[in-house]
Amino acid sequence: MLRYFLLLAILSNFAFSDELTVAVASNFVKPMRDLSNIYQVSTNQSITIVSGSSAKLMAQIKQGAPYDLFFSADQEKVSKLIEYGLADTASRQQYAKGRLVLWSAQCMSQSKATAEPSSYRRLVNNDFNHLAIANPILAPYGRASVESLKSLTLYSNLKSKLVYGENIAQTYQFVYSANSDLGLVALSQVIEYLSPSTSSSTLTEKNDSQKTQQCGWLVPEHLHSPIIQEVVVVKGKNENAAQKFLDFMVSDKIQQRLLQYGYESF
């Protein structure tokens, strides 16, 4: 019996030593799950995903969290990690460009979507109770949300109606549960509700008449600074394996696939 436990302990130790732990900004969790599965099947490399707001993950790495890769939702936090000496500049890469969508619970059922006034019209007409955004200090999507509202000169009027999710996943959850009637979320979170013809790169900025008919509204990119998402290898014992997975994620094949997840590729 004891021998069996010893064997188990040794085996599990082996399993741990070449397991990759990947810290992922909440907006990118869905594609990461799928894509890391593909990678795990083809390479036998086991991958554990940890998600949260970019700021939280960075703070955790700073305090010695055992993450091998950091998929941030911006460039700034990657720069900071390098500044702290916790990551290597050479491994730094852009892996995706995110988009913001104004969304409401109604947008999830297509039948209601046409009957209800569009989210955009409700936002502009101040016809809603709460607008959920991600915490602008912690989540890059939150910062882009505030920038967009300021560009639309709606921010000061709507400020009292803002509800803050700790990360973009909680923000989406507030909208999904209909507790907040409107929310600014990542396109990647709602892409499955959009018809194939409007999804990803083909969902371009609409003119005003189209804007008022659609339930969800893709926030035009010129309203906020671009959400350029960067990844970096965190210094540690798994740097080689981490670099391989990073190379896989920025490969042409995977970058092509990011379109269907609601990202623009590099």
Partner 1 sequence: MGLSEHDLMAIFLTLKLALLVTLILLLIGTPIAWWLSKTRSFLKGPVSALIAMPLVLPPTVLGFYLLLAMGPEGPIGQLTTFLGLGTLPFTFTGIVIASVIYSMPFVVQPLQNGFEAIGERPLEVAATLRCNAWQQFFYVALPMAKPSFLTASILAFAHTLGEFGVILMIGGSIPGVTRVMSVQIYDHVEALQYTQAHWLSAGMLILSFIILLLLYSRNALVPRIFGVKN
Nearest distance from C-beta of residue 261 to partner 1, angstroms? 26
Nearer to partner 1 (CB atom), residue 43 or residue 129: 129
Nearest distance from C-beta of residue 138 to partner 1, angstroms? 5
Flag whether 54 is marked binding: yes
DSSP output for 93-155: EEEEEE-EEEE-GGGGSHHHHHHSPPHHHHHHTT--S-EEEE-TTT-HHHHHHHHHHHHTT-H
Nearer to partner 1 (CB atom), residue 56 or residue 99: 56
Nearest distance from C-beta of residue 9 to partner 1, angstroms? 30
Residue 22 bridge partners (DSSP)? 49, 69
Residue linked to tokens 């549960």? 177
Residue 98 bridge partners (DSSP)? 227
Nearer to partner 1 (CB atom), residue 27 or residue 238: 27
Nearer to partner 1 (CB atom), residue 99 or residue 143: 143
Nearest distance from C-beta of residue 101 to partner 1, angstroms? 19
d(CA 38, CA 85): 31
Nearer to partner 1 (CB atom), residue 123 or residue 133: 133
Nearby residues of 27 by Cβ (< 8 Å), 6 or more positions away: 73, 98, 141, 168, 169, 186, 188, 189, 229
d(CA 154, CA 1): 68
Nearest distance from C-beta of residue 130 to partner 1, angstroms? 6
Please report, as ranges, the residues that interact with partner 1 according to CB under 8 A: 53, 55-56, 58-59, 62, 129-130, 132, 135, 137-138, 162-166, 174, 177-180
d(CA 211, CA 206): 6
* CA-angle at 91, arms to 233 and 33, nearest 5°: 50
Residue numbers in the known binding site for molybdate are 54, 168
Residue numbers in the known binding site are 54, 168
